[in-house]
Amino acid sequence: MINKRVEAAVNEQIKREEHSSRLYLAMASWCEVSGFPGAAAFLYAQADEERMHMLKFVHYLNDRNGHALMAALDMPAPEYKSLHDVFEQVMKHEEYITASINELYGISFEEKDFTTANFLQWFINEQIEEESTMRGILDKLNLAGEGKSGGLFHIDKDLAGMAAARATTTGTTAE
Ligand code: FEO
C-alpha cells in the first residue's frame, strides 16, 4: 500500500496535470479564434500531452494500490491580451509544475518511498524539455515584439510545424 502522504501528493499532482490540460485547451481555443492557427495546433497538442501526464500518474497510483481521484477544477481564463501573453503564462505555469514535481519528489524521499521517487525521474526530465521549448518560443516572441506583425505570422507558422512534428512522433493529432 502506498504511503498516504505520498498518495495525497500524487492526487494533487493529478489535479494539476488535468488543470494544465484544460488551461492549454483554453489558450488553444483563444488562439484559434484570434487568428493564430499554428499556436492553436501547438497548444491543442500540448493539452493532449498534459492529459497523458495526468494518466501516467493515475495508472501509477492505482498500480501501487492507491486510488486516483478526479478533483473539481477551476475554469481556466478564457481571454488573453496577446500571443505573447499566452506564452508568458505557459512559461509561468510550466515553472509552477516543475516546482510541484520537485516538491512531490521531496515528499517521496521524506517518506522513504523510493519507488515513487524513481517514477518521478521521467517527469523531472520532461520538465527540463518543456521549460526549454516554452522558453525558446517566448524568446522568439520577445524578439518579434507586440502587435500582429509579420514576425508573429512566422512564429505562428513555426508553431504549426512544431505541432505537426509532435503529432508524428507521439501519434496524437494536433487539432
Ligand atoms: Fe505536465 Fe507541462 O507539465
Tell me if 48 CB under 6 Å of ligand 1. no
Q: For the domain 4-170, what is the CATH code?
A: 1.20.1260.10
Q: Distance, CA 113 to ligand 1 centroid (Å)?
A: 22
Of ligand 1's atoms, which has the minimum distance to the CA of residue 46?
Answer: 2
Closest CA to 12 of 80, 82, 72: 72
Considering only CA atoms, which residue is closest to atom 1 of ligand 1?
A: 50
**Residue 83: strand, helix, or coil:** helix
Block residue for cell numbers 478526479: 70
For the chain, how many residues are written? 175
Find, among 72, 74, 87, 73, the residue nearest to 27 by Cα.
Answer: 87
> What pLDDT is recorded for position 172?
53
Question: What pLDDT sits at residue 146?
Answer: 58
Atom number in ligand 1 closest to CA 16 = 1
- pLDDT tens, the chain, 175 aa long: 899 999 999 999 999 999 999 999 999 999 999 999 999 999 999 999 999 999 999 999 999 999 999 999 999 999 999 999 999 999 999 999 999 999 999 999 999 999 999 999 999 999 999 999 999 999 999 998 755 568 899 999 999 999 999 877 765 554 4
